[in-house]
């Protein structure tokens, strides 16, 4: 209890220190530019060269079909009555992220994942796989040897052990861009900045700082997310303008008061602006103990009976006398933590206490349970 209280106090002090030191951040860390975004690519391919850990083709017929189609492109026809059992081949999906303005010849990292029942992709190589975008166009070609961080092993008695995920891997620089990625910085010289954390105050401060640096009327806020900036018409000048723009420093608004609770692990994170109102809290515990003491029942002499084990269970219920604590108004995060620690509840029980405080209106924060 003492250790938990000490850790909670240290965490609270650290969060309070961070919240009290407000500092400006670069515009590039606060916003993204409309038209400058990653594009998702996906493809279907085959991984070969596995050490017997590929798809069981009897349960993955699409792997056989893919092998037949691939061999047919090389002029090899597999007879219709032949059903190849290939344990060193796996059908996979390949996906990558294509940055804006990527040009042909640049390379991308790709992730390869099994879609059949392959046990492991370790040691395999991806055959040439086209990667398409949402518009159906091929933007990159992927191929190469996989790096798999997982490991799986099994014995003849059916026992198995798995470390991480052996059915997925990565190919660094495994795809080559074949088509330029779409992207547009400005439309008629207008650049739209989108806040990563929408907020009225942050948008207002961003507009004020841009207008202070580049002149009144250059930036206008459209809503809590978007700020429209009038930049130069020339493309080269736009790049220079954005370079100066993204290095401006703006003080973002304080985050909303939130308490985030992980109900599975009992982890609780309290924001620095959380406050409490006066409230009375009582917390009790209920302990149920079940003891099993089997007894041996012996038959009477010459009764031709059999010795039997008779179960005997003892159930005891113990309820601790709850104490009531008064939570005074918490004006600082330290006050809130000290008041919660006074209840003396375990982290898992604090979830219910915080939910009750929120329902009663005594917790001046948004409660998020994950």
List the pLDDT tens digit at each of the 370 positions of the chain: 444 444 454 444 444 444 444 578 898 888 988 888 889 999 999 999 888 888 876 677 888 888 888 888 888 887 777 777 778 899 999 999 999 889 999 999 999 999 988 888 888 999 999 999 998 999 999 999 999 886 666 655 556 666 678 888 999 999 999 998 877 788 888 889 999 888 899 999 999 999 998 888 889 999 888 999 998 888 888 888 888 988 899 988 877 777 777 766 667 777 767 776 676 666 565 556 667 677 777 777 766 777 777 777 777 766 565 555 565 666 566 666 666 666 666 655 666 777 777 776 777 777 777 7
Residues of 239-264 as b/e, b for ≥16 C-beta within 10 angstroms? eebbeebeebebebeeeebebebeee
Q: In terms of domains, do 56 and 109 share one?
A: yes
Residue 266 lies in a domain: yes
**What six digits make up the tokens of 221?**
């806020």
Residue 135 lies in a domain: yes
The helix (run of H) or strand (run of E) holding residue 258 is strand 258-262
Q: In terms of domains, do 67 and 162 share one?
A: yes
Domain closes at, from 211, 231, 250:
250
Q: Looking at residue 158, what is its pLDDT?
A: 57
Residue 323 lies in a domain: yes
Q: Angle CA(309)–CA(310)–CA(312) in degrees, nearest 5?
A: 130
Q: In terms of domains, do 101 and 140 share one?
A: yes
**What are the C-alpha distances in Å from 280 to residues 46, 283, 306?**
64, 10, 62
Q: Looking at residue 154, what is its pLDDT?
A: 61
Q: In terms of domains, do 279 and 320 share one?
A: yes
Between CA 162 and CA 158 the distance in angstroms is 13
- Only one residue has tokens 């008041």, namely 339
Q: Looking at residue 139, what is its pLDDT?
A: 95
Residue 225 lies in a domain: yes
Q: In terms of domains, do 56 and 157 share one?
A: yes
**What six digits make up the tokens of 267?**
């982890």
pTM of the model: 0.64
Q: Looking at residue 61, what is its pLDDT?
A: 80
Residues ≥6 apart with Cβ < 8 Å to 142: 43, 45, 94, 96, 110, 126, 128, 129, 130, 131, 171, 174, 175
Between CA 312 and CA 295 the distance in angstroms is 7
Domain closes at, from 250, 269, 289:
250
Q: In terms of domains, do 98 and 223 share one?
A: no
Between CA 182 and CA 85 the distance in angstroms is 43
Q: Looking at residue 300, what is its pLDDT?
A: 74
Q: In terms of domains, do 44 and 171 share one?
A: yes
Q: In terms of domains, do 203 and 173 share one?
A: no
* Domain containing residue 142: 39-177
Number of structural domains in the chain: 3
Domain closes at, from 148, 177, 206:
177
Q: In terms of domains, do 137 and 199 share one?
A: no
Q: Looking at residue 7, what is its pLDDT?
A: 44
Q: Looking at residue 238, what is its pLDDT?
A: 84
Beta bridge partners of 289: 316
Q: In terms of domains, do 166 and 64 share one?
A: yes
Residue 26 lies in a domain: no
Q: In terms of domains, do 355 and 275 share one?
A: yes
Residue 32 lies in a domain: no
**What six digits make up the tokens of 276?**
């409490």
Residue 33 lies in a domain: no
Q: Of 83, 172, 74, 165, whose CA–CA distance to 126 is shortest?
A: 172
Q: In terms of domains, do 194 and 314 share one?
A: no
Q: Looking at residue 179, what is its pLDDT?
A: 92
Residue 346 lies in a domain: yes
């Amino acid at each position: 209890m003492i250790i938990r209280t000490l850790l909670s106090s240290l965490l609270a002090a650290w969060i309070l220190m961070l919240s009290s030191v407000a500092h400006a951040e670069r515009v590039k860390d606060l916003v993204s530019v409309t038209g400058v975004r990653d594009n998702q690519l996906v493809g279907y391919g085959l991984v070969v060269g596995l050490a017997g850990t590929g798809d069981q083709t009897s349960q993955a017929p699409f792997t056989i079909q893919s092998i037949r189609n691939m061999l047919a492109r090389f002029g090899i026809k597999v007879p219709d009555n032949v059903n190849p059992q290939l344990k060193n081949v796996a059908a996979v999906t390949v996906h990558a992220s294509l940055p804006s303005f990527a040009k042909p010849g640049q390379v991308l990292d790709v992730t390869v994942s099994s879609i059949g029942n392959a046990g492991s992709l370790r040691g395999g190589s991806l055959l040439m796989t086209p990667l398409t975008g949402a518009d159906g166009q091929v933007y990159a070609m992927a191929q190469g040897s996989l790096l798999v961080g997982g490991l799986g092993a099994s014995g003849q008695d059916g026992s198995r052990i798995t470390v991480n995920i052996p059915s997925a891997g990565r190919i660094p620089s495994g795809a080559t861009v074949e088509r330029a990625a779409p992207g547009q910085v400005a439309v008629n010289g207008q650049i739209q900045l989108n806040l990563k954390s929408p907020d009225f105050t942050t948008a207002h401060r961003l507009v004020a700082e841009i207008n202070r640096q580049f002149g009144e009327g250059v930036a206008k806020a459209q809503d809590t997310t978007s700020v429209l900036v009038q930049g130069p018409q020339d493309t080269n000048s736009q790049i220079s303008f954005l370079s100066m723009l993204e290095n401006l420093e703006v003080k973002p608004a304080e985050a909303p008061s939130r308490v985030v609770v992980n109900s599975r692990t009992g982890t609780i994170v309290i924001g620095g602006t959380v406050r409490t109102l006066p409230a009375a809290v009582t917390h009790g515990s209920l302990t149920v103990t079940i003891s099993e003491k089997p007894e041996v029942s012996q038959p009477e002499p010459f009764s031709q009976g059999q010795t039997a084990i008779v179960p005997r269970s003892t159930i005891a219920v113990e309820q601790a006398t709850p104490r009531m604590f008064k939570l005074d108004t918490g004006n600082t995060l330290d006050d809130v933590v000290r008041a919660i620690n006074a209840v003396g509840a375990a982290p898992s029980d604090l979830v219910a206490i915080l939910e009750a405080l929120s329902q009663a209106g005594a917790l001046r924060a948004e409660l998020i349970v994950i």
